[in-house]
Amino acid sequence: MKVLAMAAAITLASGTTAATADTVAQDDPFLWLEDWHGEKSMAWVEAENARTVNVLQNDPNYPSMVKDAIAIATATDRIPMPSLIGGRIYNFWRDAAHPQGIWRHTSASEYAQASPRWTTALDLDALSKAEAKKWVWKGATCLEPDERRCLISLSDGGEDATDIREFDLATGAFVKGGFALSTSKQGVDWVDADTLIASRDWGEGTLTASGYPFVVKTLKRGAPLSDATEVFRGAKEDVGVWPAVLNDGAGNRAVILVRSRTFFENDYILVTPQGVRKLPLPAKSTLSGMIAGRVILKTSEPWRSGGVNVPTGSAVAISLDDLRAERTLVPQILFAPGARQSVEQVATTRDHVILATTDNVRGRAAVLTPTATGWTSTALTLPDNASIGIAAASDRDNAAYLSVTGFLQPTTLWQIDAAKPAPVQVKALPARFDASGLVVEQFEASSTDGTKIPYFIVHREGMARDGSTPTIMTAYGGFEVSYTPSYSALIGKLWLERGGSFVIANIRGGGEFGPAWHQAGLKTKRQIIYDDFAAVGQDIFARKLSSPKKFGIFGGSNGGLLMGVEFNQHPELWNAVVIQVPLLDMLRFEQIAAGPSWVDEYGSVSVPEEKAFLKTISPYHNVVKGKAYPEPYIWTTTKDDRVGPQHARKFAARLKDYGIPYLFYEDTAGGHSGDADIEQSARLKAMEMVYFTRKLVDGK
């Protein structure tokens, strides 16, 4: 799910909502499992884990699968993905010797070598040992333009809540007496060398119902948090408020607050010495950077300003001077997508904008350059039938790195000079699985309303089209998140190499075809997302690429909700279902972890029409006693402070109560992503693949 610019929806502040939630709770026999770290809840988790570990980790396939997964995760010939900071290449790296990871740097020239020499800036394993914590890297925010001082974000065990500390890149150490912000879900940036602007937990009454901050203050060097000066206060009904300091290579700087009233609707507030002022920008839009005094914006709704009509999903540029002077904004359209296109990423260099887009779920990239009369665009020549991502860019110069990846193409890294863009491949991931004899096809399925839903399938060339091939399928279907082709070494090694097929379904709710593709499945329109997914499965069976007995599905977070719905609505279509870190109780999701922030996506039980719909899809409430279901594997993490493990626990408990077979596992670390360290992520993937092998290959 989106973490920053986090517009979520109306929170549970009204009396009507609270009363409705109380009524739902009274009818919930497993409400006690919502006690996050309670003794009784954790005892239940321990017992469930023991049973599942006994089944999956004692399976004959597990030792080789977990060995392969760890080998892939710890391989030293992975691509060290770059960040451009202070004229150096920085990289966060984990391997067998550094399971928590090290933050390290090298020069650009050295990075281009096959085996660069690295200097360690911060060793998280050593820090974790010294402080008796399991620190998980959450990134760095560095002070421009010199980028010597950085704010390091660290999470205890993988939670979204972080500790923030000031780090000096020149000395390679935390700054003694420097900025230090204690654990909170928080957003922090630099105003200047001695001033931070921060939204965080400032004390009682400063967090929204979603658990995010809505009070923004400035903090001076050497001052305690209690002396911070309030700059802006949103409302408890907001999702949250976050600072965003925009800089460009020409020395322009703008301090902007992003007030997320809902998950998808933002107010943008300019901070000036004279005070704060709301900017006339579209609510459904995302700030993407700044270049030469032009603010770059990606829109998710139609916008008309200054006589210019901006189509939904466009990338546009707006004059910073016009924003400051309160003049009418005249947006310049950088890219307006067609019906089957979308803008995936936008990045700025010193003098240019880089766009990564998709065309029918295939990656494209271009460099755009401002001129006296508008913008020029230069398409980049990169491998086709792949996904293209912007790995790194900086406003110090025009250097940037792009990643290219496909189902059977190991990821490659390309360097460009945006001033004269001719991509040069500088890194390539070695093949992690034997792709010989494998092919990728793209088909379309007809959903219940006739819409064509594209999907990719990776399978063995010449396989028997008799429905006998074990196949696994995934999708996300929410929050305008696109699911594009990528090289998955683990799926390749643990599944494709062993004879299975793999499918990605580009269902509605995602962003593959822009905002309209997402908005087609919002709130009470959401059933179409689930129909799309089922339609893809049925199309696969009609083509005899697989069959229900040989078919499994998996997904996490919002994709976990998708799996729960499909488990209930179409149990006859799947023989294996993996439900990862899921939402499953859709009548109480607003009461759990960051649930209130997603009302704009799902709806709210406080609205009668939306509650009625949520009741029809809520996996927890639609399990039927005595009905035949595939045995699902449900996993979550105790440290997940975004979705929360409560959903998965309660769903498993209901299955147990109804006598329906299931497997449940809750890892005690890892947060929402389940990757507190290398061993954890490898273990979780190996357990999934053992489960799929048992169900779809061995017939257990």
Rounded CA gap, 81 and 405, in Å?
A: 13
* Cβ contact 416:367 at 8 Å: yes
DSSP string, 195-234: EEEEES--STT-B-TTS-B-EEEEEETT--GGGPEEEEE-
- Residue ranges of alpha helices (H) inside 457-498 are 489-494
**Nearest C-alpha neighbor of 569 from the set 596, 522, 533, 605:** 533
**Nearest C-alpha neighbor of 323 from the set 361, 283, 296:** 296
The catalytically annotated residue of 352, 518, 647, 672 is 672
Tokens of 463: 């396989």
Rounded CA gap, 522 and 661, in Å?
A: 32
The catalytically annotated residue of 83, 153, 557, 597 is 557
Rounded CA gap, 556 and 535, in Å?
A: 20
Strand blocks (E) in 526-668 = 551-556, 576-580, 632-637, 663-667
* Cβ contact 545:465 at 8 Å: yes
Rounded CA gap, 283 and 266, in Å?
A: 5
557 assigned to active site: yes
What is the three-class DSSP state of 148? coil
Rounded CA gap, 83 and 199, in Å?
A: 25
Question: In angstroms, what CA-CA distances link 53 with 70, 74, 667, 688?
Answer: 18, 23, 11, 12
Tokens of 534: 């089922």
Residues 6+ apart with CB under 8 A from 514: 312, 313, 337, 341, 342, 343
The torsion region of residue 699 among left (phi > 0), alpha (psi -120 to 50) and beta comes to left
Q: Spell 49-62 as b/e; 16+ CB within 10 A means b.
A: beebeebbeebebb
User: What's the one-letter identity of residue 567?
Assistant: F
Name the one residue in this structure whose structure tokens are 């870190």. Answer: 581
**Nearest C-alpha neighbor of 387 from the set 341, 356, 424:** 356
DSSP 462: T
Rounded CA gap, 246 and 132, in Å?
A: 36
What is the three-class DSSP state of 45? helix
Strands 308-310 and 315-319, sheet pairing: unpaired
Name the one residue in this structure whose structure tokens are 């924003």. Answer: 323
* Cβ contact 286:263 at 8 Å: no
352 assigned to active site: no
Rounded CA gap, 36 and 459, in Å?
A: 42
Active site (catalytic) residues: 557, 672
